[in-house]
Amino acid sequence: MGAVTDLVTFGETTVRLSPPRGDRLETAPSLDVRVSGPESNVAVGAARLGVDAAWLSKLPDSALGRRVVAALRGHGVRTGVAWADGDADRVGTVYDDRGANARVTAAIDDRDGSAFTTITPGELPGGVVESTDRFHTSGATLAASDRARSTALDLLATAGEAGVRRSFALRHGSRSTGEDRRNRQRGRDRNGGAEPAADIYRDAFDHVDTLFVSRHEARTVLSCEGDAVEIVHSLRTEFDLETVVLTREGAGAVAIAAGSVHEGPAIDGAHRDPDGTDDAFVAGFLAERIAGGDVSDALERGEATAAVTGRIDGGTAIVTGEEVDAVIADHDATER
Amino acid sequence: MGAVTDLVTFGETTVRLSPPRGDRLETAPSLDVRVSGPESNVAVGAARLGVDAAWLSKLPDSALGRRVVAALRGHGVRTGVAWADGDADRVGTVYDDRGANARVTAAIDDRDGSAFTTITPGELPGGVVESTDRFHTSGATLAASDRARSTALDLLATAGEAGVRRSFALRHGSRSTGEDRRNRQRGRDRNGGAEPAADIYRDAFDHVDTLFVSRHEARTVLSCEGDAVEIVHSLRTEFDLETVVLTREGAGAVAIAAGSVHEGPAIDGAHRDPDGTDDAFVAGFLAERIAGGDVSDALERGEATAAVTGRIDGGTAIVTGEEVDAVIADHDATER
Amino acid sequence: MGAVTDLVTFGETTVRLSPPRGDRLETAPSLDVRVSGPESNVAVGAARLGVDAAWLSKLPDSALGRRVVAALRGHGVRTGVAWADGDADRVGTVYDDRGANARVTAAIDDRDGSAFTTITPGELPGGVVESTDRFHTSGATLAASDRARSTALDLLATAGEAGVRRSFALRHGSRSTGEDRRNRQRGRDRNGGAEPAADIYRDAFDHVDTLFVSRHEARTVLSCEGDAVEIVHSLRTEFDLETVVLTREGAGAVAIAAGSVHEGPAIDGAHRDPDGTDDAFVAGFLAERIAGGDVSDALERGEATAAVTGRIDGGTAIVTGEEVDAVIADHDATER
Amino acid sequence: MGAVTDLVTFGETTVRLSPPRGDRLETAPSLDVRVSGPESNVAVGAARLGVDAAWLSKLPDSALGRRVVAALRGHGVRTGVAWADGDADRVGTVYDDRGANARVTAAIDDRDGSAFTTITPGELPGGVVESTDRFHTSGATLAASDRARSTALDLLATAGEAGVRRSFALRHGSRSTGEDRRNRQRGRDRNGGAEPAADIYRDAFDHVDTLFVSRHEARTVLSCEGDAVEIVHSLRTEFDLETVVLTREGAGAVAIAAGSVHEGPAIDGAHRDPDGTDDAFVAGFLAERIAGGDVSDALERGEATAAVTGRIDGGTAIVTGEEVDAVIADHDATER
Amino acid sequence: MGAVTDLVTFGETTVRLSPPRGDRLETAPSLDVRVSGPESNVAVGAARLGVDAAWLSKLPDSALGRRVVAALRGHGVRTGVAWADGDADRVGTVYDDRGANARVTAAIDDRDGSAFTTITPGELPGGVVESTDRFHTSGATLAASDRARSTALDLLATAGEAGVRRSFALRHGSRSTGEDRRNRQRGRDRNGGAEPAADIYRDAFDHVDTLFVSRHEARTVLSCEGDAVEIVHSLRTEFDLETVVLTREGAGAVAIAAGSVHEGPAIDGAHRDPDGTDDAFVAGFLAERIAGGDVSDALERGEATAAVTGRIDGGTAIVTGEEVDAVIADHDATER
Amino acid sequence: MGAVTDLVTFGETTVRLSPPRGDRLETAPSLDVRVSGPESNVAVGAARLGVDAAWLSKLPDSALGRRVVAALRGHGVRTGVAWADGDADRVGTVYDDRGANARVTAAIDDRDGSAFTTITPGELPGGVVESTDRFHTSGATLAASDRARSTALDLLATAGEAGVRRSFALRHGSRSTGEDRRNRQRGRDRNGGAEPAADIYRDAFDHVDTLFVSRHEARTVLSCEGDAVEIVHSLRTEFDLETVVLTREGAGAVAIAAGSVHEGPAIDGAHRDPDGTDDAFVAGFLAERIAGGDVSDALERGEATAAVTGRIDGGTAIVTGEEVDAVIADHDATER
């Protein structure tokens, strides 16, 4: 982990247990095992697109903990893990299901008491955040526990002091996470529940250059109404952000950066599994930026990465740069 | 089974063997095993929605017979089973397939000689039908065998004398059963084939308060033409029924009750597997009525229960009341 | 089917539905589908060892009926099938399970009313039995129904008049079939049950040159006690047979032929699934005889074919001549 | 749950997630889902052997909680469940693995914070324990949490006052549970860890008539050395018990009852999966006693039930009375 | 193979390894095994529709080689195989994947060095091509290797001299094969790559009566622009063909035969898996022609066969004549 | 790859496709996909036991090539891969089967023309071999192709000059590889076949400190007879080796090092799958030596690592140091 990287992410990664398509959690004889987290999904997607990406977190040294690391390393992500011992030795677990709607939803959120909730900055490998180009985390991390939140803020501050560009995805029950209202409430519970959800995130905005937010989140969490362009303008002003990227389900993303508004293409993903598509969008966006692309190219690459990911079961962006390029080329050809 | 129940159903439940999605009966290396029957599907759906539901039938005391009972009990249905011994020791079996159309169809109906075809009223636990609020059976039961038919008529008469409300689903090759013409013919064969299909059912109508029928069945089996409202009026008059509920594929159900016509919403189920959706409709309808809801609410709850069930492989309504409520709320929100 | 063949077999082939290893019929979410029959198993094993083998039977023209034919043709067996229409359109079905002992046992025998039970000689392609070198059938065929029995006797007689060598496997609940007592009783029931089991088979012995029988069957069905050599002598004398082959579980087979006794090697199969091993023995034995080998070589090849088959799930001898040769070579090397 | 039952059990039932045979928890793409608990396993086994058995516990009202209940009801067990809401809404989870030895071991014990750990006597349906013939619980329940322990002691006391016979299985890392040292330590942690393991159980012994204990537990937990007969004598005296049943891996169980020593047969189970075999033993033993059998017959039936269960994956005794009888008959035949 | 057949096909058949739906080649724990080839797919489809069809090819005598033959024989195709020994003992392999688009694409074409690439006319059974009614091969065979190409041309010439009707499917990266540009390039490589793709096929056109070509192939390979009718006219003239059949994705096929243009219906297949649908079209077309149908009927039957095949995973047309008839009847009913 | 490592390995890693247990390659509907190679297996096992291990090889940049790298990285192995482009873009493939014996055997060796066979030293990352403590390769690498052989010899020479300790496993059809005679012959073919098998390896012995060889290989490949001690003495003298380790199936390994003979324990693995156990032995041996253990400890750790690996399907040593320690402790406890 000592090497200089392009992108460092920080957050909890869970084991997700999912019934096979067509079956339900209550009756499925077996559950598919996958590894997913808002920040590690970004790291995997970016690494697969050529970025030298790393992920920082805390896990128990168990078969499930090792499984999380193996999955990420297999996709080329460097891992900087604080291995828990003693009390906090759970891996956070999420059970998927399909119920009142056709989408996969996180039916049971069983992350309480996970090793990650006990994380402190001192447990993580030193010097990693300072020596990267970009740092990324999400609202799910802030909501995980008080310790997770203060560690995230600490890392954001450290990165900022080192001149590292910092991005943040709100990830507060977005379309991609499939987290329903019940889980969002629980997210608040994990944080104590005293302060409104938005307040948890506002502290982070002080340390952030780029914010990724869905239109639904902008409205329900940040109480920001209007059309897409109005929202990005308003959020940029309110939180003094350099870049705001607003994703819209079924429509292209809109970004404001350096005062200019950019609109990305709406690439039809015919989504098979929406879990992870927002993370894939972030991965594609950051990969393009790291490769030197401009914001418009980044929007396009983000949408294309999300489109490919939406065709795969599970939240991991098992994509290649060639495939993403092909989606972009196809889309361009069709539009003309 | 001695306890007073909300709903008692009576009919044959079969083992259904289905190739995995994308494969065919002729080549699939393994077949999924499920348990399904027009009346037990109703009992399961109703029980899951909070109804104290029971199911009466006859089965052999074999691994497959016990499997049928275990599946129903697991969903909370009380079972009153006449355990067959001696000659008639088959469980009726149905093999599913996907062939000339994309739907699951009952490719092979292997129910002849099943234990259920030998059932007589005296074999069933006594006093059950008299001490329930509602009794439900279907045309598939009447067509199973002469014994099954006379047992069903006997139970309907007994229930009627005890003042129990009686409902009947025609289930003669409806959209939900996926039974094709060949199987319908065979259904007639099982009954002897001498009298026209409709005549089998007419005797039952004398004992029935509520009839569930699909538009297709109304036309092809009961020779009743016209639009939905005309059909329910006409059937109500012809058979002197209190309530007639007409389901329409891709459109909402229409009911006539106490002289008033009610139209239910068309809730898009994006059906993954149509098997069992009509039974789920009946379950939702009856559950709402038992809970004190009016006919309009019952139509809505029926459609919503069918919509959730259509997303699940197999005919069982593995739903919760919360999920059905969410579908209704979603639909209401969208319509407004 | 017009071509001259080395071996023609006649009998019922069923669809066998088996829970995956470690699970039970009452709870397995899916069942493996295989095709098995005492005579078609012999035809498959022989065909895979280079014999030009055929199988005669009756099946419904359904997905399951076609599946039976496809499985046998895939292994190189020619099929002469009377396709049933009308009433008798079931494929016989057998459900496997593992219960009171570790072996696979036929938990549910659901063959009543199968198309095969309605077979008559006139439905089969003509001239086939007369133009082969060897004809083979089994006691399971005689016990299937009166029609099956008289068809088998008719074919045996026809073959005998044409100078065809005829073999017969008792297959009355042998170790390999895994059929338990309950199923044996049922076998009798299918035949009417009036006459003792042995009498069903004695008629056939008049038409048979070679009898395959297990030690267990010799004792329980044919009431023949003594050691292996005494049994083969006694059976040969009692039924005036040219050759008697006695298989012994865990020990080599013993044969009497042309007055000489031959003892086969005991080849350890470390049996994973005993279903079909006796059929594989017969296949290996007949293949060697057809290839011109003597009785001792045939015993060895039979045991080796059974040993390979015992390592495979299901009753089909998915073997190659090379593999069987290798088993024989290994055994010879070890013995020396 | 109001009806009078033969047997009431009380304890935690977990979801067990197991890699398919031959794979490991760290790499298996899917995990088999089963439901298991020391007391519910006893209830299932007894119910399948004809006992009217019930199980008391606490679960969250989630898909996994409902799954636990459905599994038990499917086997005929009556369930009296306190449905948790609010904070304690986890189902206890155990991950299986095969590692340093060939047996399934509970690799990850993820039961902390389960709904069951918050149970209090007042949450359970009233009058159940008083109106049964026998009550059964285990040491695993005492070790689950302080609340679970005091609830268990409360139920034992209530049962005792009502004259109900009470049995107790130590289940402290027995051969059947496959729980290794690490999990045993954790069991202590859940209880606070202050007092030695044995002391947790001694309080319960005051309320118990029959103790089931393995030889290994007798030595390591109760510090009781000697041969089997010495151990049962010594435990009976030390804890003033009416009956002590000592199970021995690979050898028959030994019991002392009313001053007489009985030795059960050693029935070879060729165990495929040892999980649940000790619970199956208890189920068989109690079923025989409830049916009026004496202690010797109960030992035999216990061993036979364990032998059948050992051949099935998972801890559930998916057996029938006929199969257990057949195992006993086979064993008797062999022994003679 | 000596018997007179309706249709003889010649070409390479590969083992196709496919990740389960929703998974990717890079991560799937297991791969489904299927057998597919442009010519054997035609033979299977035709055989299932009642045609006496044969397939000529070369394979190694290995488990995979035997598997190919077993699959085809199981569907009723006669096989005339040159069994390779010595050096060229590979079965050509193709790995499927879903990537930049939702369709199955041949991600890895691993056919180089297969036994088929070494084929010579003398290795095939003699007299087969001369004694059939129709002979069919494809451009994929011409592109496989120089030897495959010259063998195909030799067989076409022999068939022509014997008055056999000869058809040819271009199959150069059609919609049905899902072969992308990379594989098409490789197809050229296998041929040496010196001459343009079209030139490989032109030699064959001299020996062909009927050409099947997709609109995409007509444009990109044969440089033929215009609307469908213009294309079939132009190709017929340029290559002096009797019949040209142009398939159009999402639209009906268009044929010119004996100077008349015929337009087939567009039957919506709601394609689950496009692999093999073009082959199924050819099978249906030829089966209808062999049965005496005219070109319009053949177009309809081709489209219907493709529609059923598109609902099944894999390229094999596991259809029955009844199912295809039902699709045609349904389509006719809807159109009216 | 620039960092200093404990162990660098070099060799070909293949995709292994295996039928599920109980099925055969000719009939299995799906094949399990695993990644295995004699040297990468050693690297994985060592990495899992705490060694900083790397693996050098050549692969195509395809889904299968990336899969190989992902699998190894997931287990913590650093990978230094020359990514092939252009012609040689196959991943070597091996198909497993169970045939004439119960063991998994490499039924089809489809490695010809793999990217690895075209490897040259210049394609590999520079400086890796010089900066490690130990270098390991095997005879399978020498036999892969002339280029592979000369690259291996080049790396051995470079390592030797840098003072790196070099080990070599003969791996010429050992018990663990399951490679049968046919594949060994093919191994020779790949090398040209001109010189005897042993001569291929002798060149390497000049550059090697430690040789791992099985007793079977010692006899059949190196023509070295006698008991184990005689063999290690004789090989050490003949090839002037520092250490010779001889593995014996079913018995402990024997080593000669610095003139002293050491005998390892025979740890019963009750092998489920022998593939990879010899590689696991080497991994355990080298891990212990790297950790500073003496030769006796290394033999013990090697045997224990092999024992755990033998219980897992596939050749990968999915073990932990704790598990291996537990096996050693168990074995020590039993022996005393």
pLDDT digits (tens, 9 = 90+) for B5-17: 999 999 999 999 9
User: In which residue are the tokens 């069918």 written?
Assistant: B306
The helix (H) or strand (E) run that includes residue D228 is helix D228-239
User: Inter-chain contact E74–C76, Cβ cutoff 8 Å?
Assistant: no
Under 8 Å CB pairs connecting chains B and C tally to 67
pLDDT at D135 over 90: yes
B95 shares contact with chain C (CB less than 8 Å)? yes
Query: Pick the residue with more confidence: B177 or E279?
Result: E279
User: In which residue are the tokens 């289930």 written?
Assistant: B171
Instruction: Tell me which chains share at least 3 CB pairs under 8 Å with chain F.
Output: A, C, D, E
B217 pLDDT band, cuts 50/70/90, is confident
Asked whether E294 and E265 are in contact (CB, 8 A), the reply is: no
The CA distance from E152 to the nearest CA of chain F, in Å, is: 26
Give me the pLDDT at residue B180, please. Answer: 37
User: Inter-chain contact F67–E25, Cβ cutoff 8 Å?
Assistant: yes
Q: What percent of chain D has pLDDT over 70?
A: 85
Residue A274: both structure tokens together: 């929406």
pLDDT at C246 over 90: yes
pLDDT at E176 over 70: no
User: Inter-chain contact B107–C62, Cβ cutoff 8 Å?
Assistant: yes
A326 shares contact with chain F (CB less than 8 Å)? no
pLDDT digits (tens, 9 = 90+) for A307-321: 999 888 888 999 999
pLDDT digits (tens, 9 = 90+) for B65-116: 999 999 999 999 999 999 997 656 899 999 998 766 655 576 899 998 999 9
Instruction: Tell me which chains share at least 3 CB pairs under 8 Å with chain B.
Output: A, C, D, E
Q: Which of C119-123, D286-290, F248-252 has the lowest mean pLDDT?
A: F248-252
pLDDT at E173 over 60: no
Q: Which residues of E touch C75 (CB under 8 A)?
A: 70
CA dihedral B190, B193, B198, B204 (to 10 degrees): -50
pLDDT at D69 over 50: yes
DSSP for F222-284 reads: T---S-HHHHHHHHHHHHT-SEEEEEETTEEEEEEETTEEEE--------S--TTHHHHHHHH
Q: Out of B279, B297, B313, B330, which one is annotated catalytic?
A: B279
Give me the pLDDT at residue B101, please. Answer: 62
Is D5-177+192-335 in CATH node 3.40.190.10?
no
B100 shares contact with chain C (CB less than 8 Å)? no
Query: Pick the residue with more confidence: A100 or C204?
Result: C204
For residue C286, the Cα-to-chain-centroid distance in whole angstroms is: 12
| Sequence spans of domains, chain A | 5-177+192-335
Nearest Cα to Cα of residue B124 among B145, B146, B143, B152: B152
Instruction: Tell me which chains share at least 3 CB pairs under 8 Å with chain A.
Output: B, D, E, F
Give me the pLDDT at residue B88, please. Answer: 62
Read off the DSSP letter of residue D293: -
Nearest Cα to Cα of residue B324 among B314, B313, B309: B309
* Burial state string for B73-105 with b = 16 or more CB within 10 A and e = fewer than 16: bbbbbbbbbbebeeebbbbbbbbbbbbbbbbbb
Which CA distances in Å does F240 have to A73, F139, F164, F251, F296? 41, 18, 17, 26, 21
Distance CA A227, CA B205 (A): 58
pLDDT digits (tens, 9 = 90+) for D225-257: 899 999 999 999 999 999 999 998 878 999 999
Bridge partners, B17 (sequence order): B33, B95
Give me the pLDDT at residue B331, please. Answer: 86
For the segment F147-166, the average pLDDT, to the nearest whole number, is 97
Which of D73, D81, D312, D318 should one mutate to test binding to chain B, selecting the residue with the greatest count of B CBs within 10 A? D73
pLDDT digits (tens, 9 = 90+) for E284-332: 999 999 999 999 999 999 999 999 998 888 889 999 999 999 999 988 8
Q: Which residues of A touch B330 (CB under 8 A)?
A: 100-101
Asked whether C204 and C152 are in contact (CB, 8 A), the reply is: yes
Under 8 Å CB pairs connecting chains E and F tally to 67
pLDDT digits (tens, 9 = 90+) for E110-153: 998 999 999 999 999 999 999 999 999 999 999 999 999 999 99
For the segment C56-80, the average pLDDT, to the nearest whole number, is 96
Distance CA C53, CA E192 (A): 44
Instruction: Tell me which chains share at least 3 CB pairs under 8 Å with chain E.
Output: A, B, C, F
Q: Which of B82-91, F50-59, F226-235 has the lowest mean pLDDT?
A: B82-91
A240 pLDDT band, cuts 50/70/90, is very high
Q: Out of D6, D89, D278, D279, which one is annotated catalytic?
A: D279
Interface of D with B in 18-77 (CB under 8 A): 70-71, 73-76
pLDDT digits (tens, 9 = 90+) for F250-266: 789 999 998 899 999 99
Order of strands, sheet of C251-257, starting from the edge strand that comes earlier in the sequence: C78-84, C53-60, C5-10, C132-138, C165-169, C210-214, C243-248, C251-257, C260-263
Give me the pLDDT at residue C12, please. Answer: 96
Give me the pLDDT at residue D193, please. Answer: 39
User: Inter-chain contact F70–E26, Cβ cutoff 8 Å?
Assistant: yes
Average pLDDT, chain E: 87
Q: Which residues of E touch C76 (CB under 8 A)?
A: 70, 73
Query: Pick the residue with more confidence: F98 or A240?
Result: A240
User: Inter-chain contact F17–E28, Cβ cutoff 8 Å?
Assistant: no
Give me the pLDDT at residue B186, please. Answer: 35
User: Inter-chain contact D62–A33, Cβ cutoff 8 Å?
Assistant: no
Q: Which residues of E touch A322 (CB under 8 A)?
A: 100
Nearest Cα to Cα of residue D99 among D160, D163, D30, D178: D178
ipTM of the modeled complex: 0.91
Q: Which residues of E touch B23 (CB under 8 A)?
A: 312-313
Give me the pLDDT at residue F336, please. Answer: 58
Question: Which residue intervals of chain C are DSSP H helices?
Answer: 38-48, 63-74, 139-142, 146-161, 181-190, 197-205, 215-220, 228-239, 277-290, 295-309, 321-335
Give me the pLDDT at residue B225, please. Answer: 87
pLDDT at D267 over 70: yes
Average pLDDT, chain D: 87
Among B30, B67, B108, select the one facing C63 at the smallest CB separation: B108
User: Inter-chain contact A27–B318, Cβ cutoff 8 Å?
Assistant: yes
For the segment B266-294, the average pLDDT, to the nearest whole number, is 86
The CA distance from E327 to the nearest CA of chain B, in Å, is: 6
Give me the pLDDT at residue D183, please. Answer: 37
Give me the pLDDT at residue E116, please. Answer: 96
Q: Which of A188-197, C317-326, F159-168 has the lowest mean pLDDT?
A: A188-197
Distance CA D296, CA A70 (A): 53
Q: Which residues of D touch C102 (CB under 8 A)?
A: 270, 311
Asked whether E60 and E66 are in contact (CB, 8 A), the reply is: no
Coil vs helix vs strand at E96:
strand
Asked whether E277 and E269 are in contact (CB, 8 A), the reply is: yes
User: Inter-chain contact B99–E308, Cβ cutoff 8 Å?
Assistant: yes
Given CA atoms E242, E246, E247, E250 in this order, what sign does their dihedral have?
Answer: negative
B130 pLDDT band, cuts 50/70/90, is very high
Among D28, D97, D113, select the one facing A33 at the smallest CB separation: D28
pTM score, two decimals? 0.93
User: Inter-chain contact A62–D108, Cβ cutoff 8 Å?
Assistant: yes
Among B26, B32, B107, select the one facing C29 at the smallest CB separation: B32
Q: Which of A3-7, C139-143, D161-165, D291-295 has the lowest mean pLDDT?
A: A3-7
User: Inter-chain contact F107–E67, Cβ cutoff 8 Å?
Assistant: no
Q: Which of C148-162, D118-132, D271-285, F51-65 has the lowest mean pLDDT?
A: D271-285
Among C312, C319, C326, select the one facing F22 at the smallest CB separation: C312
The CA distance from E280 to the nearest CA of chain F, in Å, is: 22
